[in-house]
A and B are shown apart, each in its own frame.
Chain A
Amino acid sequence: MMLSAEGVSVRYGDKPAVQDVSFSIAPGQWWMIVGPNGAGKSTLVEAIARGVPYSGRILWGEREIGSYSSRDYAKKVGILSQTRRTEYAFTVAQVVRLGRYAHQRGFLRGGDAAGPARMEEALRLTGLTGMENRLLTTLSGGEIQRVFLAQVLSQDPRLLILDEPANHLDLKYQQALFSLIGDWLKQGERAVLSVVHDLSLARRYGTHALLLDQGRCAARGTLPAVMSPDHLKAVYQMDVHAWMRDLLTPWQE
């Protein structure tokens, strides 16, 4: 197992956001966290990112994730969150280079032999080669999302976490993003965990799924089993399968 959560709960004040959730991720798997608004999907990801305090256990290998140093943990787990606005005029290269932070060694963190090659590859994969000196303040939302994708790819983590990565992306980049991550997953001992709103995307790319409902785990396991008509109907309170088929009929001509 790479990452395993055992009875994880997160509370915001008196309000429980995630309650007693357990699952574990093995190399080669792509987990999809799905569920309606307010189900606790992003909160669970925040807990794994060590951004909010939780109770229960989250382990990387055999050890609690809190026992790793910030740098060591960043070499294991990389996170791409929703598109952000930047206050200051950083260049594309400066933001992507931050992905190498955990790998930099020595005085003032100057030494990083693998850095330039990793950065170049990340820029190429995300189609940003040649845009290194563009300012983030001049880029569109979709381009900014690609810059942060390049950052997390150059970080070279083993588990990649995506929090609603396709938000604000044009369909073309949505498709490019998901197939790029599919290729990334196949190289070496890697895994992906993503929060997605779009159930069709989840079905198309995931291998496993975790279905959340009001902070609790409604179902978990291999994707087709979790996203069965009964499970989805119970959580979304509608016949999701019928609705999805209905949505797609106009495209079948």
Chain B
Amino acid sequence: MKTARKIVASCLLTALLSAVFLLCVCLGSVAVPLGDTLSLLDGAMEGREAPEGMYSAIVLSLRVPRVLCAGLMGAALSLCGAAMQGLLRNPLADGSTLGVSSGAALGAALSIVLGFSIPGLPLAGAAGMAMVFAFGSLAAILALSYGMDRSLATHTLILIGVIFSMLVSSLLSLLITFSGEKLRTITYWTMGSLSGKSYEQAGLLAGALLLFGGALLCQSRELNAFSVGEDNALHVGVPVRRVKLTVMAASSALIGVCVAIGGSIAFVGLVIPHVMRLIVGPDHRRLLPLSLFAGAVFLMLADLAARWVLSPLELPVGVVTSLIGAVFFLFIFYRSRKEGRV
């Protein structure tokens, strides 16, 4: 009975995901008829040579990799947000609470302005630097917290993360004042944008999601214990330090890859898990997979809006998610205030 319901739910979600994927591939500044899209996708999957023509170029070289990246990034951001909200027992946390995204954005900006890159990295230039800085930030935050408090208490981590983010943001502003004509590129990075994504980037995202996302999904029970209370997790036998390090390292790595590829896209990791928790409750065995699906659907649609609403002008997708996110958050806050819960 329970398994049957799980199977039905997975089928429905997969169908929804496919439908949204097709919608996002078809629509845009140039609308491609569904029939043409399907035959192009079918041909590509059977390994046939891509036919000549405008539709083929738009669908196969532009939209499919872009929509794939949007879906994978949305899934990753939302999953990390759900895991961090559970771990830190704070509904306002997300994958960037520890300061990893701002660290990664600083790395990207440094590379754009000063033009350095580390040779031999899988992603050239800005993306590679973003990854390196993401891991560096995580290491710095953990080392600072550990030096202050051996037990790595969550409030120490949050505080260090916030201070670290502020420091990095001020460095970023400093860089921007010297950036001159490169301002636009940096802005696109800090707001997040999904234009011009490639299949290689989608592949990298998928690999990271499989590895680090899988690690997060395996911690569902432990996250349940953490979100009831860290001391309660300790008392029921959860190896708290190991779980904390696993969840933080996995979500920071995943966020690092996301920022390296699409910049820091705000609010997805904050809002989607929040909504999903309202719908299915706080049990992470359901919450994590559902957040993954919903995040993918949400970011694909948000990216569609970013490139369609004012087409041919394209907005950074982070502007769309922030707009939706801020309005939505106000709504949640208003409602919970009325119910007297906050």
Contacts and interface: CB of A to CB of B under 8 A. Distances in A.
Interface of A: 49-53, 69-75, 78-79, 81, 84, 86-91, 94-95, 98-99, 101-102, 104, 108-109, 137, 148, 151-152, 155
Nearest to B220: A108
A91 B282 CA distance: 9
B331 to A, nearest CB: 18
A249 B227 CA distance: 47
Given A87-B91, A109-B221, A78 B235 contact: yes
B146 to A, nearest CB: 14
Contact of B281 (A84, A89, A95, A151): A89
Given A98-B224, A101-B221, A86 B237 contact: no
B31 interface: no
B228 A98 contact: yes
A205 to B, nearest CB: 22
Contacts of B239: 69-71
6 contacts: A51-B231, A70-B238, A71-B239, A88-B89, A90-B224, A98-B232
A81 B236 CA distance: 12
B15 to A, nearest CB: 25
B236 A53 contact: no
B234 interface: yes
B235 A75 contact: no
A225 to B, nearest CB: 31
Interface string B217-232: 0101100110111011
Contacts of A74: 235-237
B337 interface: no
A236 to B, nearest CB: 29
Contacts of A51: 231, 234
B229 A102 contact: no
B170 interface: no
Given A87-B227, A90-B228, A101-B225, A49 B283 contact: no
Given A53-B150, A70-B238, A78-B235, A94 B283 contact: yes
A90 B71 CA distance: 29
A94 B224 contact: yes
Contacts of B277: 88-89
Interface string B53-96: 00000000000000000000000000000000010011100000
Given A53-B150, A81-B231, A101-B221, A90 B236 contact: no
B216 interface: no
Contacts of B232: 84, 98, 148, 151
A73 to B, nearest CB: 7
Nearest to A70: B239
Contact of B282 (A52, A71, A89, A109): A89
A110 to B, nearest CB: 10
Contacts of B89: 87-88
Contacts of B218: 108
A91 B220 CA distance: 16
A51 B231 CA distance: 8
Contact of A86 (B151, B229, B231, B283): B229
A88 B234 contact: no
A102 B150 contact: no
B240 interface: yes
Contacts of A104: 221
Given A53-B150, A87-B90, A88-B282, A98 B236 contact: yes
